[in-house]
Amino acid sequence: MTGLTIHDVVIEAAHHIECNGYSAHYLYSVPQAQAGRPLAQCAVDVIGAISLAAHGTPAHPATALTRATEQAVLAHTTAPSLAAWSDYKGNGKQRALALLQETAAGLRAQAQQQDQWRAARCPDCGEAIEIRDDGMRTLCACDVAA
Ligand SMILES: [Zn+2]
């Protein structure tokens, strides 16, 4: 699977948790796997769901895409890692889904913000620049001088 964005993976990961069920503390449900269920259909935790969404199996080694997705999700928690997050009391299926949905919404907001460049002029040198809502701006003669 190529061309997946972090947002795609987050959405698909939530879908997998919703359909397969949630399995705390490990990538996928070991009892289900031992009973012969295909890994792609076993209940998954957040990391397993991300792997499953990115490359079709919850047990696959981490890739740049899964790591970037985990970082994006982790940024919406106060936990040091997603493994630690899943060990926190009360963090079950509903919170996992809420976390993924919140991450997806955050990514959409970020993407939208990055698209909103508007034309402006630097008040100091008068050069044409572009400014984004978050204050990010393209360089002008002042930056070169600085
Ligand atoms: Zn300037």
Site of tokens 């790591």 = 67
Global pTM value: 0.77
pLDDT at 81: 95
Ligand 1 ion: Cβ-proximal residues, 5 Å cutoff: 122, 124-125, 140, 142
Q: How far is the CA of 127 from the centre of ligand 1 (A)?
A: 6
Q: How far is the CA of 120 from the centre of ligand 1 (A)?
A: 11
Q: Are residues 75 and 121 in the same domain?
A: no
Q: Are residues 91 and 20 in the same domain?
A: yes
68-71 CB contacts, 8 Å cutoff, 24+ apart: 68/6, 69/6, 69/9, 69/10, 69/13
pLDDT one-digit tens code per residue, 43-53: 999 999 999 99
Q: How far is the CA of 135 from the centre of ligand 1 (A)?
A: 14
pLDDT one-digit tens code per residue, 75-118: 999 999 999 999 999 999 999 999 999 999 999 988 887 778 88
> Does any domain span residue 28?
yes
Number of domains making up the chain: 2
Q: Is residue 1 over pLDDT 50?
A: no
Domain containing 127: what range? 117-146
> Does any domain span residue 1?
no
Q: Are residues 109 and 122 in the same domain?
A: no
